[in-house]
Amino acid sequence: MLSLNNVSVAYQKKDAVQEVTFELGVGQIGCLLGPSGCGKTSLLRAVAGFEKVAAGQICLRKKLVSAKNSHLDPEKRRVAVVFQDYALFPHLTVAQNIAFGLHKQSRTQKLQRVTELLMLVGLPGYDNRYPHALSGGQQQRVALARAMAAKPDLLLLDEPFSSLDAELRDELAKELRAILKHEKTTALMVTHDQHEAFAMADVIGVMNKGRLLQWTDAYALYHRPANRFVASFIGDGVFLSATVDKNLKLNSGLGVFPINPASGFKEGDKVVFLVRPDDIIHDDESKTLAKVVDRSFQGSHILYQLELQHLGHSRVLCLALSHHDHQLNELIGIRLDLEHLIVFADKGDDA
């Protein structure tokens, strides 16, 4: 449906997006995720046709829509955009807002589609309200209904929940996914919030400094991050240092772990390996002790920050059931339970 091949976007000859390549299939929901300024909005705007590409190609339905010397106008792309500030027309009712893009349809057809969409976004009967009489979440639902009204081939969503409070954001993200799946809409969203990306997307692209570092599903991003940036950006975790021994094992001070020979590491290599909060198991029987230096109560769990005094005071996170209630400075038993080792060369951030 959507394919990008080595796309770069530049402002005054300075690259904001560099050589991005990915594909999004029909009915898939993709998400561009990354820190502020990484280029995700620029990339989304290039797909919409609001920005020209400096290099590479964008194809929609196998048709070239953007290249260095060719550019199809946004209104000819059959693409709809939902912006973060809703941008509803204040002087039009909800029904008129939704029907705005339905030019060639009869009155009855318009009415039918508006009713169907209001039902879908959970606002039946809101036809005659004006935007000012709606909550933020309701306005965003109407904006979504308006964008979907004409059944675009591709829906683009630019931080669609950023002005809503956290609880509503999670709820809407799940609802929105269900709506898009129901309508079989292909969508590409931009966010800097990984929980939103996890709740919404089939496939997530992590960006940093204008580059797409990995394009895959949430599970693979978490368990098989392509590099250090992705590993630290997705989920919580810390890197511990170690040296590869002669048996191609990592002696971490928390246990000995074999390294996959295919990874190319050899004896003496300095590496870092990722330890997630759920890899550190609190175990009273363990002889490895760590000092509680911080704790945050999360209801069912407590997230502890622990200092490993036998490992140069490195710190790790440990997610323990909350009836294991330990105080600051207490020493508690831990063991490392790594499903699989995520290890990178120790040469700083390679993103």
Residues binding ligand ATP (CB under 6 A)? 11, 16, 34, 36-42, 192
- Give least dist CB 35 to ligand ATP, A: 7
CA atoms within 13 A on the CB side of 130: 5
Kindly tell me which of 20 and 142 has the beta carbon lying closer to ligand ATP. 20
Q: Work out how close the CB of 89 gets to ligand ATP at its nearest, in angstroms, rounded to a whole number.
A: 24
Q: Using CB atoms within 10 A of its CB, is residue 86 exposed (0-12), middle (13-18) or buried (19+)? A: buried
Strand order in the sheet with 280-282: 280-282, 331-336, 289-297, 301-308, 314-321
Amino acid at 335: R
For residue 21, is it left (φ>0), alpha (ψ between -120 and 50) or beta?
beta
Q: What number of other Cβ atoms are within 10 A of residue 212's Cβ?
A: 23
Nearer to ligand ATP, 193 or 279 (CB): 193
Buried b (16+ CB within 10 A) or exposed e, 154-168: bbbbbbbbeebeeee
Map residue 17 onto helix, strand or coil.
strand
Q: What are phi and psi of 117, to 5 degrees?
A: -70, -40
Closest approach, Cβ 115 to ligand ATP, in A, equals 35
Q: How far is the CB of 190 from ligand ATP (least distance, A)?
A: 6
Shortest Cβ 11–ligand ATP spacing (Å)? 3
We find the least distance from the C-beta atom of residue 349 to ligand ATP, in angstroms, to be 18
Q: Which is nearer to ligand ATP, 40 or 228 (CB)?
A: 40
Q: Among candidates 63, 50, 78, which has minimal Cα distance to 151? A: 78
Pick the closest to residue 77 from 43, 36, 49 (CA basis): 49
Q: The tokens of 241 are what?
A: 């240092």
Residues 45, 51, 52, 56, CA torsion sign: negative
Provide, rounded to whole angstroms, the least separation between the CB of residue 37 and ligand ATP: 4
Nearest residue to ligand ATP, scored by beta-carbon proximity: 41
Q: Which is nearer to ligand ATP, 11 or 83 (CB)?
A: 11
Q: How far apart are CA 182 and CA 180, in angstroms?
A: 5
Q: Which is nearer to ligand ATP, 39 or 152 (CB)?
A: 39
Nearer to ligand ATP, 10 or 281 (CB): 10
Q: What is the DSSP letter of 76?
A: G
Q: Is the CB of 42 or the CB of 93 nearer to ligand ATP? A: 42
Closer Cβ to ligand ATP, 42 or 97, answer by number: 42
> What minimum distance in Å lies between the beta carbon of 156 and ligand ATP?
13
